[in-house]
Amino acid sequence: MTYADWEPVIGLEIHVELNTKSKLFSTALNHFGDAPNTNITEVCTGYPGALPVLNKEAVRKAVQFGCAIQAEVAKFSKFDRKSYFSPNSPCNFQITQHDQPIVKGGTIIAEIEGKEQSFAVNRVQLEEDAGTLIHFPTYDGIDYNRAGIPLIKIVSEPCIHSAQEAVAYVMAVKSILQCLDVSDCSMEEGSLLIDINISVRPKGVKELRNKIGIKKLNSFSFMELVIKSEVNRQIHAYLDNEKVVQSIYRWDADKKEMVLMGRKATADDYLYFPDPDLVPVILTQAYIDEIKQSLPEFPLQRKG
Amino acid sequence: MAEIDRETVKHLSQLCRINCTEKEIEKLQVDLKEILSYIDQINEVDTDNVPPCLHVSEDVFNVMRDDVSGPSISRDFFLTNAPAHIGSMISVPPANKAH
Amino acid sequence: MYKLSAIELRDQFFRGDVKAVDIIDYYLKRINALDKDVGAFLNLFHDQALKQAEALDKKKASGARLGKLAGIPIALKDNILVKDEIATCGSKFLTNFRSPYNASIVEMVLEEDGIIIGKTNMDEFAMGSSTENSALQKTRNPWNLKWVPGGSSGGSGAAVAARFAPIALGSDTGGSVRLPAAFCGVVGYKPTYGRVSRYGLVAYGSSMDQIGILATNTADVALMMEVIGRHCPKDSTSLHEECQDFLTHFKDSIKGMKLGVPWKFLEDLTDEPKSNFLNSIEILKMLGAEIVEIDLGILKYSVAVYNILASAEASSNLARFDGIRYGQRSERAKTLDEIYDFSKEEGFGPEVKRRIMLGTYVLSAGNRDAYYKKGQKVRTLISRAYKEAFSKCDLIAMPVSPFAAFEIGAVKGRLQIYMEDIYTIGVNLAGLPAVSIPNGLTKDGKPLGLQLIGPQKHDRNLLVAANVIEKGHTFKRAIPTLADKQFSP
């Protein structure tokens, strides 16, 4: 086999902060750039006894996006707890949507060299953001302003096959989000961040091979760079009869390099279970239709 | 019933981040085995076609609030209530480097 | 004054027979004299309560409208948060933790001019049935200082029994208000799940927790329910029920009421708890109730289901205690990892660690279906069994516990530990309201309780019936000898 016999298989998870006035489950202000730890309540700082109450505007914005990409808006969705320990995670679990997200499926239409191309979305889920961990020489500081801000996580199918397609996909998503005015979409401020999963496989083969994950990319140029170099590395590894080990990296925007976070044979156990403090979201067809009717025109997306 | 061996207890202690002494691990092994063997009796119950109880109150759903922001807790209180803070942030030692 | 009910005390205050500061002074004096033996209180709000009382006296003098709880000293279990005050939850982890906010029910109590007199002892993080798991101090049963007061709201149960406050609030996840009420010979009430706000109650088993009320009589419980039994917008699981009048619905008879008894499920009941329960059944018949047999056989699995679900929820709820934002951070921790590992190692007691581990186990990837999901399904069956039973009866009557209070430090086999909660736990799994009323003493003088259970949202019917039964029962409200005096120990 030669280099040309291989194709990249890329999946993207785009984390988008919604521009609601208050946080997802806490009434604290949702605002970027304020002095640390000034937009906090007992709910988003994980104080004992505090309880979450869902922000209805966050639900609306998630449904707006779902309608814009002609996805299925779930009539029944719920929230789950994802357990992991981190100083910027106030409860040491994240409230997310594991098996019953608010939006399923969907299509992103992007323009690549003058031609329209469709990309399949797997799901869009509502979840809360974590606080900010800031590295100082002798300690880490934690700012909880960002903890609890509403996110939608837009998960694509692994249907992207080049850096160019990846960039076009993200630009198309960004354009829809801006049209809807559901997010500031600022990659520099971190309100739009991208996790990439990259693997390669021989052309014509269906099975997926081990993937490398890179988290929290915040620019198109870095995304292109990382995809091109990683695809190249993986193909050469296979051509040299080497293995590609499943690993996760985070993107260090200052050093402009991938930093290895871990190599795991098995996935982390997040102990998912339904959040007992929250009740299901049951949406009517009338609610969904009302949102569909009020959607703006999109350059590329077709109206349902 | 699954085996509760020393490795299981160590794995659990890592998942829930509670450091255990050797003595504690031994005792937990015994205790968890005992508790789980009592709990295993639920396998006698036929639960085919029985939905899981997601919420005990049947008619509570769509509880949401308006998108209005409210007052924050005092930053001074928040920081002084914390075991350690530097400037306006809670402080912890730097995280261990990734392997 | 200690013999007065909360309503009687409040009415005296209303009439001007006594000032609020005198009431608080009196109770503080009692507590200072007698609580050194009982150990009900972890934290006495001496200055704060007197200040509140002074303000209340001024308010009365100004002619302003007074609240329903005016002048009543109320004790709170130490897992109910009061703004700027320490809340330990009976744990070493939180001995320095101050809450930045009031629990919703605290706001409601203060708005009705109730006076919070202090925080009571409890099993650590509400895990236990005897208050022996408190990491901070022992609470002794006022009926006999060698006995446990029950748990996990043992401090609240003891405080009411010893007449340190006419009303105390606790929390009930598997029986933690009803059991100490029975062991301490007072009334203990758990509302329908969601009837009382959980905002500001430190969570243990979120889908089962409810704040409960302990008092010397059912009318006082009803009074408190009129104040705290209402919708709370900060708690997503709060029922959309507004305040109800309870006291005006009290009546004189339960004639014709159908009371279900799960005789088969109670077969293993022995000795005095058995004869005491049978005696109560006779009294209920005499009061005009019709006793109907119901099937609650599935409750034999209730303790197992509770162990799975409560520990799963607890393992997640207690993850936040890491020594980073509040609470005790381990001093020997040098790295971030050590802060997590050592703070929890040092801060949590053995029972808490055991339950967190169990909870983690039943939620872990390979075990979730067999344990957590299966437990959720059996929970559905338990709920259905109660529903089925309520199609045949209005209320269910059962004992509170197969045993009466036991000695502090008594060694118990694990099976006995499970059996303690066997009659109370099913109620939490099904989200039902339930009350324990004192209905006798053993030959040794240990109090026993009769439990009445209602369908969801039937809190008022339940308390109305409990009140009739309390009035008509041959066993009358009794005060433990230790407490049956004004001040001197």
Asked if residue C167 lies in contact with residue C214, where contact means CB atoms within 8 angstroms, the answer is: yes
Q: Is residue A197 within 8 Å of residue A158, measured between CB atoms?
A: yes
Does B36 touch chain C if contact means CB atoms closer than 8 Å? yes
- Which tokens hold the place of B68? 């209005």
- Per-domain residue ranges of chain A: 3-291
Q: Over 80: is that where the pLDDT of C100 sits?
A: yes
Cβ neighbours of B90 in C, within 8 Å: 324-325
- Checking if the pLDDT of A264 tops 90, the result is no
- Which residue matches tokens 């207690």? C318
pLDDT score at C487: 78
* Chains with at least 3 CB pairs less than 8 angstroms from chain C: A, B
Give the DSSP H/E element, type plus range, for residue A180.
helix A163-180
Alpha-carbon gap: B93 to the closest alpha carbon of chain C (Å): 5
Residue boundaries of the structural domains of chain C: 6-257+433-483
Of A33, A261, A30, A253, which Cα lies nearest the Cα of A128? A30
Contact yes or no for C100 and B78 at CB 8 A: yes
pLDDT more than 90, % of chain C: 92
- Alpha-carbon gap: A271 to the closest alpha carbon of chain C (Å): 5
Of the residues B1, B28, B38, B42, the best mutation for testing chain C's interface (the one with the most C CB atoms within 10 Å of its CB) is B42
Is the CB of B67 less than 8 angstroms away from the CB of A39?
A: no
Tell whether A48 is within 8 A of chain C (Cβ): yes
Nearest to A87 among C319, C336, C363 (CB): C336
Helix, strand or coil, per DSSP, at residue A144: helix
C360, C368 contact by CB (below 8 A) = no
- Beta-strand pair C115-120/C41-44: antiparallel
Contact B73 C100 (CB under 8 A): yes
Question: Which of A279, A282, A287 is the mutation pick for testing B, counting most B CBs within 10 A?
Answer: A279
C195: nearest CA in chain B?
A: B57
Taking the alpha carbons of C235, C241, C243, C244 in that order, is the dihedral positive or negative?
negative
Measured between beta carbons, the chain B residues lying within 8 angstroms of C190 are none
The CA distances from residue C230 to A122, C90, C184, C233, C243, in Å, are: 42, 28, 28, 10, 5
Name, in order, each residue with C-beta under 8 angstroms of C376's C-beta and a sequence gap of 6 or more.
B52, B53, B54, C309
**A143 → closest Cβ in B55, B68, B89:** B89
Structure tokens of A87?
A: 């100083």
Q: What's the CA gap between C82 and C80, in Å, rounded? A: 7
Best residue of A80, A83, A85, A139 to probe chain B, by most B CBs closer than 10 Å = A139
**Does A276 contact C237 at a Cβ distance shorter than 8 Å?**
yes
Choose, from C60, C77, C119, C344, the residue flagged as catalytic.
C77
Q: How far apart are the first and last CA of chain C?
A: 17
Say yes or no for a CB contact (<8 Å) between C201 and A91: no
Question: Using one digit for the tens of pLDDT, what is the confidence trace for B41-82?
Answer: 999 999 999 999 999 998 899 999 999 999 999 999 999 999
CA of B73 vs chain C CAs: smallest distance (Å): 7
Q: Token digits for C283?
A: 């009294």
pLDDT at res. B99: 26
pLDDT band at C362 (very low <50, low <70, confident <90, very high): very high
Binary contact (A48, C320; C-beta < 8 A) = yes
Contact B52 C356 (CB under 8 A): no
Q: Please name the amino acid found at residue C480.
A: P
Q: Per mean pLDDT, which range of A15-19, B38-42, B54-58, C293-297 is the poorest? A: B54-58
Nearest chain B alpha carbon to A45: B78
The strand pairing partners of A135, in sequence order, are A140
Residues of B in contact with C325 (CB under 8 A): 78, 81-82, 90
Kindly tell me if the per-residue pLDDT of C315 is higher than 50.
Answer: yes
Q: Which residues of C touch A88 (CB under 8 A)?
A: none
Q: pTM of this prediction?
A: 0.96
Lowest mean pLDDT among A217-221, C50-54, C216-220: A217-221
pLDDT tens profile A153-173: 999 999 999 999 999 999 999
User: Does C420 or A130 have the greater pLDDT score?
Assistant: A130
Share the mean pLDDT of chain C: 96
pLDDT for A231-260, tens place per residue? 999 999 999 999 998 899 988 877 888 888
Q: Which two tokens stand for residue A237?
A: 């590894």
Please report, in angstroms and rounded to a whole number, the separation of the first and last CA atoms in chain B. 35
Instruction: Give the list of residues 6+ apart from residue C413 with CB closer than 8 angstroms, or none.
Output: none
pLDDT of residue B2: 64
Q: Which residue has the tokens 């639920």?
A: B42
The β-bridge relationship of strands C167-172 and A140-143 is: unpaired
Please enumerate in sequence order all residues whose Cβ is within 8 A of that of A293, keeping only pairs 6 or more positions apart, or say none: none
At residue C417 the predicted structure's pLDDT band, cuts being 50, 70 and 90, is confident
Out of C298, C336, C383, the one facing B53 most closely (by C-beta) is C383
Planar angle of CA A130, C320, A55, nearest 5 degrees: 50
Look up residue C240 and give its amino acid: H
Q: What is the mean pLDDT of chain A?
A: 94
- Provide, as residue numbers in chain C, all residues whose Cβ is less than 8 Å from the Cβ of A140: 336
- Please answer yes or no on whether C414 and B38 come within 8 Å at the CB atom: yes
Count of B-C CB contacts under 8 Å? 166
Q: With CB atoms and an 8 Å threshold, state whether B94 touches A21.
A: no
**What integer pLDDT is reported at residue B1 of this predicted model?**
57
Nearest residue to A2 (alpha-carbon basis) of A186, A266, A203, A258: A203
Give the three-class secondary structure for A39.
Answer: coil
pLDDT of A119 above 80: yes
Beta carbons of C170 and C182 less than 8 angstroms apart = no
A303 — pLDDT class (breaks 50, 70, 90)? low
C6-257+433-483, CATH topology level: Amidase signature (AS) enzymes (3.90.1300)
Is the CB of A29 less than 8 angstroms away from the CB of B69? yes
Reply yes or no on whether the pLDDT at A51 is more than 80.
Answer: yes
Minimal C-alpha gap between B11 and chain A (Å): 11
Of C81, C201, C325, the CB nearest to A46: C325
State the helix-helix crossing angle for C374-390 and C302-317, rounded to 10 degrees. 120
Catalytic residue among C5, C91, C134, C152: C152
Has domain B6-43 been given CATH number 3.30.310? no
Rounded CA-CA distance C51/C60 in Å is 14
Binding partners of A (≥3 Cβ pairs within 8 A) = B, C
The active-site residue out of C171, C176, C197, C436 is: C176
To which residue do tokens 């709820």 refer? Answer: C317
Q: What is the pLDDT of residue A251?
A: 83
Lowest mean pLDDT across A3-12, A103-112, A247-256 = A247-256
> What's the per-residue H, E or C state across chain C?
CCCCCHHHHHHHHHHCCCCHHHHHHHHHHHHHHHHHHHCCEEEECHHHHHHHHHHHHHHHHCCCCCCCCCCCEEEEECCECCECCECCCCCHHHCCCEECCCCHHHHHHHHCCCEEEEEECCCHHHCCCCCCCCCCCCCCECCECCECCCCCCHHHHHHHHCCCCCEEEEEECCCCCHHHHHHHCCEEEECCCCCCCCCCECCCCCCCCEEEEEECCHHHHHHHHHHHCCCCCCCCCCCCCCCCCCHHHCCCCCCCCEEEECCHHHCCCCHHHHHHHHHHHHHHHHCCCEEEECCCHHHHHHHHHHHHHHHHHHHHHHHHCCCCCCCCCCCCCCCHHHHHHHHHHHHCCHHHHHHHHHHHHHHCCCCCHHHHHHHHHHHHHHHHHHHHHHCCCCEEEEECCCCCCCECCCCCCHHHHHHHCCCCHHHHHHCCCEEEEEEEECCCCCEEEEEEECCCCCHHHHHHHHHHHHHHCCCCCCCCHHHCCCCCC
Out of C208, C304, C326, name the one closest to residue B38 (CB): C304
Residues sharing a CB contact under 8 Å with residue B59, sequence separation 6 or more, in sequence order: none
The answer to whether C176 is a known catalytic residue is: yes
CA terminus-to-terminus distance, chain A: 44
Q: Which of A3-7, A62-66, C1-5 has the highest mean pLDDT?
A: A62-66
- pLDDT tens digits, C363-399: 999 999 999 999 999 999 999 999 999 999 999 999 9
Question: Residue range C55-81: average pLDDT?
Answer: 97
Of residues C305, C358, C366, nearest to B35 (C-beta) = C358
Closest CA of chain B from C460, distance in Å: 17
Q: Determine, for residues A49 and C202 on separate chains, whether the beta-carbon distance falls below 8 Å.
A: yes
The pLDDT assigned to A266 comes to 64
Classify burial at B30, counting beta carbons within 10 Å of its beta carbon; exposed 0-12, middle 13-18, buried 19 or more. Answer: exposed
B92 and C233 in contact by Cβ < 8 A? no
Lowest mean pLDDT among A58-62, A79-83, C67-71, C242-246: C242-246
The span from the CA of C283 to the CA of C469, in Å, is 8
The answer to whether C162 and C156 have CB atoms below 8 angstroms apart is no
Mean pLDDT in residue range C418-432: 94
Confidence check: pLDDT of B98 > 50:
no
Contacts of A44 in chain B (CB under 8 A): none
Phi/psi-derived region of residue C185, left when phi > 0, alpha when psi is between -120 and 50, beta in every other case: left
